[in-house]
A and B are shown apart, each in its own frame.
Chain A
Amino acid sequence: MAVGWAAVLFVAIQAFAGWVLDYARPLVRFPTAKAVLAVARQEPKPPAFAFLGSSRTGAAIYYDELEHALAEPGKPAPRAISLAVPAGDAITMEFLLDQLLETGPAPQWVFIEVSPETVNAENTWWMPLHVLRQLNWEHVPTHAVAAIKGNAAWPYLEARLVPTYTFRKQIVAETKVAVRDWWPKPDAKTATGTVIGKDPTPLPLNWTEIIQAPAKPANDQLIENSRIGSRTTIRKSLTPYHIGGPVVSALERMLAKCRAANIKVVLLGIPTCSPHREEYTPAIEGDYDAYIQRLMSEFGCRCVDGRDWVPDTMFLDTLHVDVDGGRHFTRKLAKEVLKGLPVE
C-alpha cells in the first residue's frame, strides 16, 4: 500500500514538475536563452534589430561595432539585440521568438540565421539539445522520429518521464538564486558608489568562452583544418539532402508569427569558410535557393547571403569567425544592409 502510494505520488510529482518546467518556467530548462532574454529585456524601448541564430551568429555580430557603424550625427543609433544561443536552429529560434513576443521587447526587424545544412530534413545535429531545452509533450508526435535519428530518444524520454532528474542542475541553480534573492541583503554603497547586495546586471553571452576554439594555427594549417572539418561534419549534415523536417516547419511557423506581429524578417546567411561552402553541391545550392525564394515570396521576407563575406584567414574553425572576422562582417552588414532598412 505504502509503496503503491509512493509510486503514484512520485509519478504525480514528476508530472507536475514537468508541467512547471515546460510551461510555467520554461527558461529554467534553457539557461542560455534565459541569459540572452534577460539582456534583451533590459532595453528601454523596442529595439530596431534582433539577431536570432546559433553560435555562428553569436561570433559574427559585434553590437558595439554595429552601433558605431549605424550612428548618425544628432540621432541615437538604432538599437540591436542578440538572441543567438549555442546550437541554435529554427526550433530554438522559434522558442526564443515566442518568449520575446510574449513579454517583449518586440523588434522591428528580425534577422534569422539560415544555411543549407540547417534546413536539411536529414540533419538532426541539435536534437540531443532540443529535447532538453525546448521540446515538450506536445512535440512528441512531430519530433519523435528526428529525436530517434539524432540519438536523442533516451534523453527525450528521460526528460519527459523524470524531469526532476534530467533538469536537476538547473532546478538546484534556480533554487539557490531564489533563496539568495529571498534572503535579506544589506543594501549599502561602497566608497566607489557600487551598490552591494543588488542583483548583478545580466551580461551578454561570452562567445569566446562558449566556442572554446583551440589556439589559432597558421593560416595554411587553419584552412587545412577547415577542409578536414568540412569533409567530416558538414558533408555528413548535407547527405542525403532534402529540405523539410521539424526545423523547416519551425522556420515557417516563425515567419508566419513575425508576419502576424508585423515584424519584418531578413533571412541571413552567416559567413562560412570556403571549404565549408565547397560542400554545397550545385544540386544542394539549387534546392536551397529555390526554397529561400519560396519563403521570400510566401512570407514577404528579405534574404542576405553573407556566406562568403569573410576571408578564410578570419575563421576560428570550420563554423565560427574570429574577432577580426566578426568585426569585418558586422561593419559590412551594417553598411550594406542595415543602413538601408527603414526603422522608426
Chain B
Amino acid sequence: MLFTTAKFLGFFLVAFSVYWLLGRHRWRLVWLTAASAFFYACWRWEFLFLILGSTSVDYIVAQWLERVKDPRQRKGLVVLSVTINLSILAYFKYRAFLLEFAVDAAHWMGWSVPAQEIKLFLPLGISFYTFEAISYVVDVYRGKTKPMRNPLDYAVYIMFFPHLVAGPIVRPNEFLPQLARRKRFDWPRFQAGVQLFLLGLFKKSVIADQVALTIDPVFKSPADFSSTTLWLAVLGYAVQIYCDFSGYTDMALGLAHTLGFKLPNNFNAPYVASSPADFWRRWHISLSRWLRDYLYIPLGGNRKGPTRTMINLFLTMLLGGLWHGANWTFVVWGAYHGMLLAVQRLIPKSWDHPALRPLGMLLTFLLVCVGWVFFRAQTLGEAWTILRGMVVPTSGTELGGDGPLLVVTCVVVTLIGQALGQLGGSPRLLFRVPATVAGTVMALVLTLALILTPGDGKVFIYFQF
C-alpha cells in the first residue's frame, strides 16, 4: 500500500478519523497499532508475525536489563538481542548474497560446487525496524532510555505506519516521550502535516517518477548510450533518488504530524553540501546518526588517533553500504563514501574558506553523483561501463523526445529548491501568508501532482532496503 495510491488514501482517512474520534489516549494507541498492523499485513500478512516475534525479543531483553545488575550479564543480554536481530536480518537479506559469494570463492579455488538459487522475499522495512529495535535495547543498556512497561507503547514505537517501511529510523528518546502525552487535534499542525505530505507527493510523483521513466532505459543497457546521455542519466538519478526518498520522508513526517507525532527529519538540502562529511550530515540523517552512535563511536570514533579514525570511518560507511542491500555495488558504494570521508580528514582545516565553498559544493555534488553510479547499477561491470562512458567521449543512442529537457529541468528545479531551502524558503512560508493563499498553493500543488504523475505505481526506491 503505497502512500501515493488511492487505496492508501482510503486507509488513512479511516485510520485518521477513528483515531481522533476515540476519546481516550490508550484507545488511540490500540487503534494506531491495529491500523499499522493492517497496513503492514496488506503487503504480506505472514511477515507480521516476523516483525512481532523479532521485536518482542528486544522488548523482553529490555525488561530483563532493568532487573539484571551484573555488567557481564547485562552485556550478554545486549549481545543476545543484537545477535538475534542481525541474524534475522542476515537470513532474509544476505543469505543469497553470502551463499553466492561462497560458491564463487569455491569456484575460484577450483572446487566444484553447484550454484545455489535462493529466492526469499525481503520483509518490508526489516532494515529499518531492526535498527530501531537495536537502538532501543542499546539505549536501555546505556541507561539513556527506560524500558517500556506497556507492550502497546513498544508496538507503536516499532510499527507506527508512517515510518514502518522506509524510516526515518526513529530513536527511542525521540519517540517514546510523545507516547506519554495525550494528543489534542491542532489545526496548524494538521496544516503543516498536509503541506509536508503534498510536498512529498509532488517530489515523488512528479519529479522522481517522471525522471525514472526517462533514465531507466539508460541504466538497463548503459553500453548503448552516448557520454552525454550517461551524464544526463546519472544527474537524473541523483535527482530521482533524492526526490523519491525525501519525498517519502516528507509524506511520512506529514502523516505523523496529522496524528500528532513528530518524526525526525531525514534530509537537509544534501546537494548543497560543501564536503562529503557535510553531505552525510544532510543525507539520510537518521541512518547517519544511527551509524555514528551505534557503530562509529563504539568502534572508537575519533578518539584513537588519525589513522584509526580513518579506518573507523571507512568501516562504518562500508557497513552502511552493505545495510542498503546484498550486492557488491552497495559494498563499493559504501567503501567509496568511506574513502571520501577518510580522505577529507587529510585536507587541512584552513581550506574550509567561505570563498572556496561553491567549489566544494560543486565537487561534492560530482563526487556524490559518481557514488550514485555504483548505487544504481545492477552489477559492478555496468557501473564501470557507465563511469568509462562518462569519462571517455562515447557515441551512442541519445535520449529522445523531451527526455533531456525533462532531466535538466528537474535537476535545476531540485538544486534551486535546495538552495532556497538553505536561504530560509520552506513550507513554513505558507504559515506567513493568508489562509486563502496557502490553501490555493496547496490545491494547485495537489492538482499538478495528479496531472504530472506517471501514476504507474512505481514503488519507493528505499522500500527494497
Q: Chain A residues in contact with chain B, CB under 8 A?
A: 1-10, 13-14, 158, 162, 164-165, 168, 171-172, 176
**A168–B443 touching, CB < 8 Å:** no
**B191–A164 touching, CB < 8 Å:** no
Docked pose: A8 CA to B430 CA in angstroms: 18
- Looking at chain B's contact residues, is the secondary structure mostly helix, strand, loop, or mixed? helix
Docked pose: A97 CA to B313 CA in angstroms: 72
Contact of A168 among B436, B440, B442, B455 (CB under 8 A): B455
**B447–A3 touching, CB < 8 Å:** no
**B187–A164 touching, CB < 8 Å:** no
Which 3 residue pairs are nearest across A and B when measured between Cβ atoms?
Answer: A5-B439, A6-B442, A9-B443
Interface size class, chain B: 20 to 34
Docked pose: A7 CA to B444 CA in angstroms: 10
Docked pose: A15 CA to B24 CA in angstroms: 39
Q: Residues of B contacting A168 with CB < 8 Å?
A: 450-453, 455
Q: Residues of A contacting B90 with CB < 8 Å?
A: none
Docked pose: A129 CA to B440 CA in angstroms: 33
Q: Does B435 contact A (CB under 8 A)?
A: yes
Residue of B nearest to A167 (CB): B451
Q: Residues of B contacting A172 with CB < 8 Å?
A: 451-452
Q: Residues of B contacting A176 with CB < 8 Å?
A: 402
Contact of B451 among A2, A3, A6, A171 (CB under 8 A): A171
Within 8 A of A (CB), among B439-465: 439-440, 442-443, 446-447, 450-453, 455
Contact of A3 among B402, B439, B450 (CB under 8 A): B439
**B447–A10 touching, CB < 8 Å:** yes
- Looking at chain A's contact residues, is the secondary structure mostly helix, strand, loop, or mixed? helix
Within 8 A of A (CB), among B117-156: none
CB distance from A174 to the nearest CB of B (A): 11
CB distance from B273 to the nearest CB of A (A): 33
Q: Does B11 contact A (CB under 8 A)?
A: no
Q: Would A2 and B435 be within 8 Å (CB), given that A13-B447, A164-B450, A165-B450 are in contact?
A: yes
**B452–A2 touching, CB < 8 Å:** no
Residue of A nearest to B445 (CB): A6
Sample 6 A-B pairs with CB under 8 A, ordered by A number. Answer: A1-B187, A6-B446, A7-B443, A10-B447, A162-B450, A168-B451
Q: Does B190 contact A (CB under 8 A)?
A: yes
Q: Residues of B contacting A164 with CB < 8 Å?
A: 447, 450-451
Residue of A nearest to B433 (CB): A2
Q: Does B438 contact A (CB under 8 A)?
A: yes
Docked pose: A9 CA to B435 CA in angstroms: 12
CB distance from B433 to the nearest CB of A (A): 9
CB distance from A152 to the nearest CB of B (A): 16
**B6–A3 touching, CB < 8 Å:** no
Q: Does B208 contact A (CB under 8 A)?
A: no
Residue of B nearest to A171 (CB): B451
Within 8 A of A (CB), among B399-450: 402, 430, 435-436, 438-440, 442-443, 446-447, 450
Q: Residues of A contacting B452 with CB < 8 Å?
A: 168, 172
**B6–A6 touching, CB < 8 Å:** no
Docked pose: A4 CA to B436 CA in angstroms: 9
Docked pose: A158 CA to B435 CA in angstroms: 28
CB distance from A161 to the nearest CB of B (A): 10
Q: Residues of A contacting B287 with CB < 8 Å?
A: none
CB distance from A11 to the nearest CB of B (A): 9
Residue of B nearest to A154 (CB): B6
Q: Would A3 and B455 be within 8 Å (CB), given that A9-B439, A10-B446, A13-B443 are in contact?
A: no
**B447–A2 touching, CB < 8 Å:** no
**A10–B451 touching, CB < 8 Å:** no
Docked pose: A128 CA to B408 CA in angstroms: 37
Residue of A nearest to B436 (CB): A5
**B450–A2 touching, CB < 8 Å:** no
Q: Residues of A contacting B455 with CB < 8 Å?
A: 165, 168
**A2–B438 touching, CB < 8 Å:** yes
Q: Does B194 contact A (CB under 8 A)?
A: yes
Q: Would A1 and B447 be within 8 Å (CB), given that A165-B455, A168-B455, A172-B452 are in contact?
A: no
CB distance from B17 to the nearest CB of A (A): 15
Q: Would A2 and B453 be within 8 Å (CB), given that A9-B439, A13-B447, A164-B447 are in contact?
A: no
Residue of B nearest to A17 (CB): B447
Contact of B190 among A3, A10, A165, A171 (CB under 8 A): A3
CB distance from B437 to the nearest CB of A (A): 8
For A8, A162, A165, the residue with the greatest tally of chain B CB atoms inside 10 Å of its CB is A165
Within 8 A of A (CB), among B170-208: 187, 190-191, 194
Residue of A nearest to B190 (CB): A3
CB distance from B333 to the nearest CB of A (A): 35
Docked pose: A158 CA to B450 CA in angstroms: 12
Q: Residues of B contacting A14 with CB < 8 Å?
A: 447
Docked pose: A5 CA to B446 CA in angstroms: 13
Q: Would A2 and B430 be within 8 Å (CB), given that A9-B440, A165-B451, A168-B453 are in contact?
A: yes
